[in-house]
A = this chain, B = another copy of it.
Amino acid sequence: MRAGHTVPPVGTSSQAAPIRARLGGEDELLRFEELELLPSDYQVRVHGVRVPLTMREFETLLALAERPGRVVMRPEIYGRVWGGEMPRRDRSVDVFVRKVRLKLAVASPEWRYIHTHFGIGYRFTAERVPDGGSK
């Protein structure tokens, strides 16, 4: 599936297309501003420091980060991470998006990565936090 995804249709301002560097023909490296994702070994780093995401958290993040700038609907995220149909009223995606948001906010306070689209889903885009994180 990762093979089929396309570059986001529009080159948004600060949002750069992910840099995919092939290392050894297997590893993949996704970069978004301060964030570095290494899908091959479930790692996330900021400034070289590891962000302690669990398996599910990482997969949730990856489901979004693979389509930067695009709105991904919950059922799609669910299918990608948990597999199968998303049960009605299931909140798993929301809960894990929150967990990821928290950990990313700790590691990279100046940036906001996951954005909510009401009634639709979530969108991954690196955007600078307005205030700078003083709050």
Q: Which of B4, B50, B120 contacts A41 (CB under 8 A)? A: B120
Contact B118 A41 (CB under 8 A): no
C-alpha spacing A9/B38, complex, angstroms: 9
Known: A6-B23, A27-B6, A54-B119. A70 touches B41 (CB 8 A): yes
C-alpha spacing A36/B10, complex, angstroms: 9
**Shortest CB–CB separation between residue A9 and chain B, in angstroms?**
5
| A interface residue count range (under 10 / 10 to 19 / 20 to 34 / 35 or more) | 20 to 34
Contacts of A12 in B (CB 8 A): 45, 48-50
Contacts of A102 in B (CB 8 A): none
Any B CB within 8 A of the CB of A87: no
Any B CB within 8 A of the CB of A95: no
C-alpha spacing A67/B89, complex, angstroms: 36
Q: Which residue of B lies closest to A4 (CB)?
A: B24
Please, what's the 1-or-0 string for A84-114, where 1 marks a CB less than 8 Å from any CB in chain B?
0000000000000000000000000000000
